[in-house]
Amino acid sequence: MKNYAVKYLAMTLLLVGASIAELFAQEQEVIDLDLVYANRPELKTSAIRRILNKFSWTFTAGYEATMYEAGLQGLEIGLYGNDLVLYGGLAEDQKNHIIYKDWLSNPQSVTVPDAPQSFEGDPGSVQGTAGGPVFNGSLAYHYKKFRVGVGLGYSSQKVKDLKFENSIGVESVNFGQTPSFSLFRYYFLAGYEFFDYGGFHYVVEANLGGASYSGFDSDSFENSGVIEFALPIEREFSEYFRVVLRPAYQIKDASYSNQGSPTISPKLNAFNVTLGINIRIPEIPRCKTYRCNTQVKHRHGDKAYRGQPVFYPQNPKMGQIPKGAHGWKWRTGKPIHAPVKRKP
Ligand SMILES: [Zn+2]
């Protein structure tokens, strides 16, 4: 009996000990996944693409309307023949009169024997609207919702209606050379995306820059440069592609004189609306593997690829065909989402 009890006790201890040992052993038995799965190669992406992807290019075109307004203080206005001229006084000989013709864009001082037919009352200022096409292009660096960049703009303007602040009884007159001017501008821009909803991005943007005009014929032309405030609305079609509607208001002025004429200093504030695109260079190239239909960003080996053209949103459900995408070919020459065709 004694032997049996000892044996039983020994067995029990052994079992308990083994169980405890196994318990500890189990705790230490962590599977090293690196030994089970093959190591994935480190992802290689192009540094140039990553940097370029932080920038976006915007190109817009539209219509610009300039509100031309020039003060005529200190000058008389009158008709000389059929020309509406400015005049300032008598010539030194006190017989002849000095008049200024073509004063809207190319003021020229002319000495004439007769006095112009003057108007009663002060004409105040002359106001007009000019209009024409406008083009903008800019490059912006994006950081979160902020953007800073540089841009170029061009607009061509033709003055249409002209009128005076105070009625001076002018019905049909010849203003002389009616200004038709163009403006080339270069600017810095800063913007902030203040609201996003339903694929629309609302942006507030300010431009500040210099300008160069043509069309004002003058030996002393100066301009204030251009300040522009814009409220672009951007419709996002994909991570890389947006359509932009950009209403903007410009504050600018100029001053000029010619051949001893008085200085004309018009305000040339303008309103413009342009429509265009905003595009980014993708940070990864498009997958060129013929039989790969993956639409999300994915990898083959050590390279990452996107499955969609720049203009298409990333579709998380592989195989789902966006509207109108059938038969689309882009660069790779393969239709996107085409069913896999086995080559003979
Ligand atoms: Zn692929």
Asked if 140 and 60 count as a contact pair (C-beta separation under 8 A), the reply is no
Longest Cα pair distance anywhere in the chain, in angstroms?
155
* pLDDT tens profile 256-310: 888 778 888 999 999 999 999 999 999 999 888 878 878 888 888 888 998 888 8
Alpha helices in 157-239 (DSSP H): none
Ligand 1 centroid distance, CA of 297 (Å): 8
Residue with the bigger pLDDT between 228 and 34: it is 228
Ligand 1 centroid distance, CA of 32 (Å): 29
Query: Between β-strands 222-223 and 254-255, what pairing exists: parallel, antiparallel or unpaired?
Result: antiparallel
| Phi, psi dihedral angles at 52 (to 5 degrees) | -60, -30
Ligand 1 centroid distance, CA of 342 (Å): 17
Residue 98 tokens, joined: 């000095």
Ligand 1 centroid distance, CA of 312 (Å): 16
Residue 333 has pLDDT above 50, yes or no: yes
Rounded Cα distance between 81 and 84, Å, is 8
Nearest to 250 by CA among 272, 232, 266: 272
* pLDDT tens profile 89-107: 565 666 788 888 888 888 8
105: number of Cβ within 10 Å: 22
Asked if 230 and 246 count as a contact pair (C-beta separation under 8 A), the reply is yes
Rounded Cα distance between 78 and 34, Å, is 94
pTM score of the predicted model: 0.76
Ligand 1 centroid distance, CA of 295 (Å): 8
User: What CATH fold (topology level) applies to the domain 54-280?
Assistant: Porin (2.40.160)
Ligand 1 centroid distance, CA of 286 (Å): 8
Domain boundaries, the chain: 2-30, 54-280
Residue with the bigger pLDDT between 139 and 343: it is 139
Nearest to 188 by CA among 245, 234, 156, 227: 227
Torsion of CA 199, 200, 201, 202, to 10 degrees: -160
Ligand 1 centroid distance, CA of 290 (Å): 8
What amino acid occupies position 274?
T
CA 249 to chain centre: 14
Ligand 1 centroid distance, CA of 292 (Å): 5
Nearest to 100 by CA among 92, 90, 88: 88
Ligand 1 centroid distance, CA of 160 (Å): 58
Torsion of CA 113, 116, 117, 121, to 10 degrees: -140
Ligand 1 centroid distance, CA of 50 (Å): 19
Ligand 1 centroid distance, CA of 36 (Å): 25
* pLDDT tens profile 15-62: 777 777 676 665 566 777 667 666 667 788 889 999 999 999 999 999
* pLDDT tens profile 58-77: 999 999 999 999 888 778 88
114: number of Cβ within 10 Å: 10
Rounded Cα distance between 99 and 101, Å, is 6
Ligand 1 centroid distance, CA of 215 (Å): 56
User: Residue range 154-161: average pLDDT?
Assistant: 89
Ligand 1 centroid distance, CA of 296 (Å): 9
The residues near 118 (Cβ < 8 Å, ≥ 6 apart) are 76, 77, 78
Query: Between β-strands 83-90 and 303-305, what pairing exists: parallel, antiparallel or unpaired?
Result: unpaired
Ligand 1 centroid distance, CA of 339 (Å): 14
Ligand 1 centroid distance, CA of 51 (Å): 23
- Number of DSSP helices (H) and strands (E) in the chain, helices first: 3, 18
Ligand 1 centroid distance, CA of 323 (Å): 21
